Amino acid sequence: MTTFASEFKKMAGRYTADLTHRAFIKKALSGYYQKRDDSKASFQSWQGARDLAAETKYEAVNHLDRYLVEFAEKIEARGAKIFWAPSAREARDYILGVARENGVRSIIKSKTMTSEEIHLNDALEKEGYGVFESDLGEYIVQLRKEPPYHLVFPAMHLTRGQISDLFQKELGSAPTDSPEELTMIARRVMRRKYCEADMGISGANFAVAETGMISITENEGNARLTTSLPRIHVAILGIEKVLPRLEDLALFLPMLATAGAGQQMTCYNTMYGGPRQPGEIDGPEQMHVVLLDNRRTELLADAEQRDTLGCIRCGACLNVCPIFKNVGGYSYGTTYQGPIGSVITPHLRGLQDWKHLSAASSLCGACTEACPVKIDLHHHLLQNRRNAAAAKPVMIEKISFLGFAWLMSHPSIYHLAAKLGRVFQPLHPIVNGTFLDPLIAWTRSRAFPNLAPTSFHEQWKKSRK
């Protein structure tokens, strides 16, 4: 087993044993379900909206060559600089280069999972740049030196008390139980940082080809300040973020808000089309747009799983996933947690190293049902399993299933084996639940059923002939 797989098993074991944590996540999500369903109900047809969203993304992804170029040309015409980053390293190097050339001293960031994917903060900090997260949840996990727990709710695993303790320790604030007061504490720190920062880094939720603009959706207003106060704005986004037309946002903005946070719309929805234009009195002097591939084109080449590029990173699949709800966000060890992470991480970071995430699913399909852009998530897990076994079979599994298949295609021997099982069954209680028990993986936590005295096959033969 790879280190990633054993680490996952270890963490999953720890988190599933933590009943307080499981109850806390369950409670946090129950509020989301209610709000999500209320918001879904305000769509004329949620299923119709999903169909349209899936079609739109399908069109965009299948014509990336056209739409990306259209987006790039239009935003460049207004003075933004485009950088096509083949991999994480090139993206990091480019952003570091911009910081160096412009004598940047302080960097502020709004929420961007793409920057997590390329480990941007580490790279900037290593070069001596202070990086400050301006999204409240991200700020909290940054202070704890943790990665985001959930791709939309980075600090959902923390109680108000834990946040208050953290602020007390790190910021010297007075203890409080009030969410408003906690927000105000963070806000006082942040306001100063916005004014000091000379570079603002953001992500993007969508890139509109038709108008050459990026769209950012948020609830705190921090992305607006991050992108407009500092003299340099760097936006980093995966190449799959492109949408063909401006009017597509009329569908995607409410859809993302609904699936992501159970809101009809998020509080702030902003379009960015370039740096400060002649005659304008504010806005950044420079705007850089980093378009990241980082093996997305390999996903594009996989006709079976290309639809994963339609992902709008709403987190809806995490919120309904029984695996995520029990193992939590940190067990995965990936940038993208939950079903979407389990599907794409093997593509982004290597199938053999990350195939265990595709195996760690009961294939219940709750994710696929929840996905607003209809990504066939649980079937992709199945395809990853097939691809992994075909490329590098696990010997014990291969031999077991060869034996199994042989047995099942030789019915008389199969029935004989079942009879033998009945002979040995009375001995099972002797070893039940011990390390000698061949069924220990089951019996440690669950009772194993007894075989019936005779099989249906035998009973049918006797009664009907």
Partner 1 sequence: MRISLFVPCFVDQIYPQVAWSVVRVLEELGHQVDFPEGQSCCGQPPFNTGYWDEARTAARVALAAFRDSEVVVGPSGSCVAMMKVFYPQLFKGDSQELEARELAAKTHEFSSFLVNTLGVTDLGAKFEGKVTFHDGCHGLRELGVKKEPRALLANVRGLELLEMAEAESCCGFGGTFAVKFPTISTAMDEVKCASILETGADVVVSNDSSCLMQIRGMLDKQKSTIRSLHLAEVLASR
Residues contributing to the site for partner 1 (CB under 8 A): 9, 12-13, 16-17, 22, 322-323, 325-327, 359-366, 368-369, 382, 385-390, 393, 397-398, 401-402, 404-409, 411, 414, 418, 421, 441-442, 444-452, 454-457, 459-461, 464
Distance CA 151, CA 27 (A): 18
CA 256 to chain centre: 14
Alpha-carbon distances, residue 200 vs 64, 210, 289, 436 (angstroms): 27, 25, 12, 60
Task: Report in angstroms how near the CB of residue 301 gets to partner 1 at its nearest.
Answer: 19
Using an 8 Å Cβ cutoff, are 254 and 209 in contact?
no
Alpha-carbon distances, residue 419 vs 159, 403, 432, 439 (angstroms): 55, 17, 20, 18
Kindly report each contact of residues 380-385 with a partner whose C-beta sits within 8 Å and lies 24 or more positions away, as own/partner. Answer: 380/304, 380/305, 380/308, 380/343, 381/339, 381/342, 381/343, 382/358, 383/304, 383/305, 384/342, 384/343, 384/346, 384/351, 384/355, 384/358, 385/355, 385/358, 385/359
DSSP string, 11-65: HHHHHHH-HHHHHHHHHHHHHHHHHHHHHHHTSS-HHHHHHHHHHHHHHHHHTHH
Task: Report in angstroms how near the CB of residue 317 gets to partner 1 at its nearest.
Answer: 13
Strands (E), 293-422: none
Task: Report in angstroms how near the CB of residue 16 gets to partner 1 at its nearest.
Answer: 4
Nearer to partner 1, 59 or 302 (CB): 302
Task: Report in angstroms how near the CB of residue 33 gets to partner 1 at its nearest.
Answer: 10
Task: Report in angstroms how near the CB of residue 406 gets to partner 1 at its nearest.
Answer: 7
Q: How big is the chain by its Cα radius of gyration, in Å? A: 26
Nearer to partner 1, 145 or 465 (CB): 465
Task: Report in angstroms how near the CB of residue 438 gets to partner 1 at its nearest.
Answer: 11
Strands (E), 134-261: 199-202, 206-208, 213-218, 232-238, 242-243
Task: Count the neighbouring beta carbons within 10 Å of the beta carbon of residue 442.
Answer: 13
Nearer to partner 1, 251 or 451 (CB): 451
Q: Coil, helix or strand for 106?
A: strand
Nearer to partner 1, 228 or 326 (CB): 326
Nearer to partner 1, 168 or 432 (CB): 432
Nearer to partner 1, 178 or 450 (CB): 450
Distance CA 399, CA 397 (A): 5
Nearer to partner 1, 269 or 454 (CB): 454
Task: Report in angstroms how near the CB of residue 136 gets to partner 1 at its nearest.
Answer: 30
Nearer to partner 1, 312 or 323 (CB): 323
Distance CA 305, CA 422 (A): 44
- Among 107, 180, 116, 111, which residue's Cα sits nearest to residue 146? 116
Nearer to partner 1, 429 or 449 (CB): 449
Task: Report in angstroms how near the CB of residue 80 gets to partner 1 at its nearest.
Answer: 44
Task: Report in angstroms how near the CB of residue 302 gets to partner 1 at its nearest.
Answer: 16
Task: Report in angstroms how near the CB of residue 251 gets to partner 1 at its nearest.
Answer: 25
Give the angle 359-382-408 at the CA atoms, nearest 5°: 90
Using an 8 Å Cβ cutoff, are 334 and 343 in contact?
no
Nearer to partner 1, 146 or 437 (CB): 437
